[in-house]
Amino acid sequence: MSNAMLIALVSHPTAPEHPEPTFLGLDPGGWVALAMLAVFALLIWKKVPGAIAKALDAKIALIRDQLAEAEALRKEAEALKAEYEKKAKSADKDRAALIERARHEAEEIVAKAKSDAEALIERRSRMAEDKIAAEERAAVKQLRAAAADAAAKAAARLIAERHDAATDAKVVDQAIGEIARR
C-alpha cells in the first residue's frame, strides 16, 4: 500500500463505531463517579476530615511548641554567648594585667639583684682593701720590729765596742741627773 492510502484510511476510518457497554444504565465513567461519591460519603460518615483536622492541629501545636522551645533555646544560647564573650574580654584584661604585674615584679627583682650585687661587690672590695691595709700595717710593723731589733743589736754591739765601765758609769750618772731635774 502506498502512503496516500494509509493516510486516507487513518483520517477516514471505515470501521463502524460500537456503543459503550453499560450496566444498570451507567457507563464506566458513571460507575467511577458513583464509586467516588460513595468513598467521599464514607469518609464524611466516619468523620475522617475531622480526624485529619485534629491530627493536623496536633501536629501544628507540636510544631509551635518546638518553635517556642527553639526560640527559648536560641535566647538562652545568645545569653550564654554574651556571657562567655564578656568573660573572654575579662580574661583578656586579666591576662594583660597579670603580664604587666609580672613584668613589674621582674623589673623589681632585676633591680634588687643589681643593687645587691653592687653592694656585695662594694663590701668585698672594702674587705679586700681592709685586708690589704691590715697586711700592709702588719708588714710595716714587722719591718719596724725587724728594724728596731736590728738597730738594738747594732746599738748594743756599738755600745759594747765603744763603751767601757767608766763610760757606762758616766752615762748612768748623767741620766740620773736628768731624771732628778725633772
- Residue-wise pLDDT for 118-168, tens only, equals 999 999 999 989 999 888 888 888 888 888 888 788 877 777 777 677 777
Top mean pLDDT of 2-6, 43-47, 104-108 is at: 104-108
- Residue-wise pLDDT for 10-24, tens only, equals 555 555 566 677 777
Inter-residue contact 27 to 21 (CB < 8 Å): yes
Whole-number pLDDT of residue 46: 80
What is the maximum span of the chain, computed from C-alpha positions, in angstroms? Answer: 201
Whole-number pLDDT of residue 58: 92
Question: What value does the mean pLDDT take over residues 69-75?
Answer: 94
Whole-number pLDDT of residue 174: 84
Spatial distance between the Cα atoms of 132 and 88, rounded to a whole number of angstroms? 64
Question: What value does the mean pLDDT take over residues 17-46?
Answer: 81
- For the cut 90, the answer to whether the pLDDT of residue 68 exceeds it is yes
Spatial distance between the Cα atoms of 128 and 172, rounded to a whole number of angstroms? 50
Bridge-partner residues for 158, per DSSP? none
- Residue-wise over 24-55: b if at least 16 C-beta within 10 A, else e? eeeeeeeeeeeeeeeeeeeeeeeeeeeeeeee
DSSP state of 18: P
The residue that leads in pLDDT, 9 or 100, is: 100
Confidence class for position 4, pLDDT limits 50, 70, 90: low
Whole-number pLDDT of residue 14: 54
